[in-house]
Amino acid sequence: MALLASLTANLCIFDYGKSFYMQLTAVRLDPLGLRFYPADSKQNDAGDTRTVVFFGSSRAKAWTAPSGLPDFKFVNRGVNGQTSAQINARFDDHVRPLRPDILILQAGGNDFKGIPLFPHRKEAIVADCKSNLAAIVSKSLDIGATVILTTHFPIGEVPLIRRPFWSDDIVQAGKEVNAFLHSLEGERVIHFDTVPVLADENGLLKKAYQRDFIHLNEAGYDALNAELVPLLTSLKQAVIPAKAGIHRSFLWQIRRKSEKGLRGKLMAAEGRGGPRRLG
């Protein structure tokens, strides 16, 4: 019995290690995941239809488009396993050509995996994550998109096989970045707090919503979409689409105002006053 248990455990460890090795090799072959999606040269010109892009890592990739919104076109540009730096770096290839009206961002969780391995770099990892997310927001505003910033999802109970590479600092980093995302809320930047939707009374990801301890199943995304649908409906008339032909000087003023606010909030989050809520 002990031998069988040992063999089973070793097989699980082998499979787990193999998956990480395959992921590492894939990153070496295509560091930004640009080949994951075909080059998008067709711009958003679908009349009154609003284009919505899900952008980020695996949690964005698995996000299914909500139903019952015929006036919206949904495009997914999530890539599994990516850090905020990779996601930011591929914006011009995977998002800009689409000229979305709305960008839904779910990114940064993979950054924190490095904290238990490089604990001395914790502050730099968190600061870089904030900087990359702010850059994505700025680029999105630059192309006329409204941004929906979704917070990092709560996690479930950490399985035994992950505990040697886990740290409570991961959870703390997620909370710090969530507070930073809240501080970015402003004109055409909407804060969507997913924690009240997904967490149980102990702050853990509800078991009914778990595909695994960090990813959602279909029911989890259905719960998010139940909140997303009325939000998108309210934005239908409010968004300022890049295709609308708005006077350049007006867009320039919006961009300057947004970027100035983002720079100030990023400086505060990096230790010059702490994150703060707009308004």
pLDDT tens track for 257-268 = 444 555 555 555
Q: Which of 27, 40, 125, 25 is nearest to 79 (CA)?
A: 27
- Other CB atoms within a 10 A radius of the CB of residue 225 amount to 17
Shared domain for 262 and 178, answered yes or no, is yes
pLDDT digits 0-9 by tens, 110-135: 999 999 999 999 999 999 999 999 99
pTM of the model: 0.79
Confidence (pLDDT) at 265 = 56
Confidence (pLDDT) at 277 = 33
**Continuous H helices in the chain:** 2-29, 58-61, 84-89, 91-94, 122-142, 168-183, 195-198, 218-235, 248-269
Shared domain for 190 and 240, answered yes or no, is yes
* Contact by Cβ (8 Å): 4, 12: no
Shared domain for 46 and 23, answered yes or no, is no
| Rg of the Cα atoms in the chain | 20
Domain count, the chain: 2
Shared domain for 94 and 204, answered yes or no, is yes
Shared domain for 23 and 129, answered yes or no, is no
* Domain containing residue 23: 1-30
* Contact by Cβ (8 Å): 129, 136: no
Shared domain for 104 and 10, answered yes or no, is no
Shared domain for 182 and 223, answered yes or no, is yes
* Contact by Cβ (8 Å): 110, 99: no
Average pLDDT estimate for 40-67: 85
Domain membership of residue 233 (yes or no) is yes
Shared domain for 15 and 80, answered yes or no, is no
Q: Give yes or no for residue 44 having a pLDDT over 70.
A: no
Shared domain for 49 and 15, answered yes or no, is no
Give the pLDDT band (50/70/90) at residue 207: very high
